[in-house]
Amino acid sequence: MSDKDQQYTETVKQVSYNVANKVLPMDKMPATLLEAYDGLLVELLADKAGLFQQAWDGLPASAQKLFTQAEFHGFYIANAWMQLSRVAQEIADSADSEEEMNNNEYDGVFGRLAEQSLKECLRKLKKARTDRSMLNSFKQVMAD
């Protein structure tokens, strides 16, 4: 499902933006971070490896009924962004210089973080089937 229709894409973007905006106001984000966010959104929306689609297809029907696939996709992308931002800040804080940062091996960090984020989101969604407060939290964070 690499070719998403316009409605799906718009829903993913809106939910992703809503969730991320709760943590870091997007209108106050520096332009470079906003570009990085947009790049992440495009990459995870494309789902070229099919990880998101496989994970969604593998969910029990009771979990899939809580949200549309597009809404959950947006939630996952925002979650991945927050995890990636946190790790990037830790890397930047621990490196004494940009040269040191460039010399360290960070290959594959993005992929591992995205996969870890997906697993975490799936676990939360499954739990939300029986935990009303978690379901309400999902809905609240996804709303405008």
- Report whether pLDDT(35) > 70: yes
pTM above 0.75, yes or no: yes
Residue 105 pLDDT: 53
Between 15 and 90, whose confidence is greater? 15
**Per residue in 31-65, is it b (16+ CB within 10 Å) or e — as a string?**
eeeeebbeebbeebbebeeebbeebbeebeeebee
Domains of the chain with bracketed CATH: 6-142 (1.10.3440.10)
Rounded Cα gap, residues 58 and 121, in angstroms: 13
